Amino acid sequence: MGGIVALGSVFGKTDGSGKTAPRAVLTVILVALSLAPLFSGLARADNQNSPMRIIYFEAGPYNDYLKNLLALAKGLKELELIEDANAPAPEGEESRETWAWLSKNAGGEKLVFLEDGFYSGDWDNDQLPGLKEEILGRIEKGEVDLVLAMGTVAGQLMATDEHGAFVMSVTATDPVAAGISKTPESSGLKHVHVQVETGKIERQLSMFHNAFGFKTLGVPFDSTPEGRATMGAPTIVKVAADKGFKINSCQAELEISDREKSYQNLLDCLDRLSLESDAIYLTVSNAMDEDRMGPILAPMIAKKLPTFSQKGPSETKLGVLMSLAEDDFVSSGRFEAQVISELLSGNLPGEINQIYMPPLTMALNFKMATLIGWNPPFETLATVDELFTDMGAGQ
């Protein structure tokens, strides 16, 4: 705002002939040039003739990000915004290969997935500031129109007023609590759109509590404010207060680049929590190694404790008792594809609906139910959309 005030005062100066002084003209030009990068993304609303150039940013590889990217491609194909959505679905969590394929093969004249536009911090917090600066530099040069910010951390880094490129924040666990969006309905910034699945954590914990009526819920939390925001800690605590149960938390380094250390930290937490809790809520974290779910679940099986996956059915398939079911991100991909369609039509991100409401059904692992001695009542089984009868790999 200081620059704008100075600009206004300059306009008031003349050279005595009623014309703006040359120095004032120069100042106007310099200020306008300095502000131009800030509005480079917002200019898309008035410049729909060139393809929208997209980059991808994540704090580190995560299977949900890959699934979202694949679903987004299919949604874009359904809307005829790209020509080919048959991108590979590589094993593991890496989205890089899929992005490279899209940059070469998506086709169409409206979108460009920049070949050099894939940014991953590999879950190394020391890398993230440098990656952010590189992205901001490219935005300032006018090379980027839209940033796909995958996950909470990427959303926090890019959903700011430091630039004017369009931003779509996707798959953040609790974007309002994490400060990515001002409210569920509005990010608070015209160039930022945030996918907000309202009440997801509330629905998860209500479903879990209704089934078991636990008095103490064990929850592993990351030891950093950023990590706790990723897990939706404020919402978890609020739901507990509303429902009248206690949170038994264990705080440890779970969102670090050293996967082995984060995994061991999680095991230590679950060993303790299983001794002092009636049920366990397994939060999203880098420590949840799906290849080693057996050791992760062993303490709860030994104590006959029910478990709920914050992440979803991919963990329920491997042995976690319950989660909200999903449609393999198909509806999420269509939702985000529609947002991009509206951007191409000239709407600003902040003007587009943010509220995403997925289907509400349950995923249940019947094998785990047997192991902990729980016989699901009929009313619970009636809400099950995905039923798994074994413990999968990693046992």
Q: By mean pLDDT, which of 17-26, 239-248, 288-297, 383-392 is the weakest?
A: 17-26
The two three-digit tokens of residue 131, written as one number:
């990656």
Q: Where are the alpha helices (DSSP H) in the chain?
A: 2-11, 22-35, 63-78, 96-105, 128-140, 151-158, 200-212, 225-230, 233-243, 259-276, 293-302, 313-316, 330-344, 366-371, 378-381
- Contact partners, residue 43, CB within 8 Å, separation at least 6: none
CATH of domain 42-198+328-351: 3.40.50.2300
Q: Do domains 42-198+328-351 and 200-326+361-388 have the same CATH topology?
A: yes
Task: Give the Cα separation of 352 and 191 in Å (integer).
Answer: 10
**Stretch (H or E) spanning 248:** strand 246-252
The amino acid at residue 324 is: L
Q: 318-333, pLDDT tens digit by residue?
A: 999 999 987 668 889 9
| CA atoms of 146 and 129, how far apart (whole Å) | 19
Pick the CATH number of 200-326+361-388 from 4.10.110.10, 3.40.50.11540, 3.40.50.300, 3.40.50.2300: 3.40.50.2300
Q: Which residue from 140, 168, 163, 154 is spatially nearest to 72, judged by alpha carbons?
A: 168
φ/ψ of residue 179, rounded to 5: 80, 10
* Percent with pLDDT over 90 in the chain: 69
pLDDT, tens digit (0-9, with 9 covering 90-100), for 280-295: 999 999 899 988 999 9
What is the rounded distance in angstroms from the CA atom of residue 16 to the CA atom of residue 9? 16
**Spatial CA neighbour of 152 closest among 123, 176, 172, 129:** 172
Summarised one tens digit per residue, pLDDT across range 70-102 is 999 999 999 999 999 999 888 878 999 999 999
pLDDT band at 2 (very low <50, low <70, confident <90, very high): very low
Task: Determine the Cα–Cα distance for residues 29 and 33; give it in Å rounded to an integer.
Answer: 6
In this prediction, residue 153 has a pLDDT band, given cuts at 50, 70 and 90, of very high
Higher-scoring residue by pLDDT: 175, 22: 175
Residue 192 confidence (pLDDT) above 90: yes
Domain boundaries, the chain: 2-39, 42-198+328-351, 200-326+361-388
Over range 240-251, report the average pLDDT: 97
- The predicted-structure confidence for 330-383, as pLDDT tens digits, reads as follows 889 999 999 999 999 999 999 999 999 876 689 999 999 999 999 999 888 888
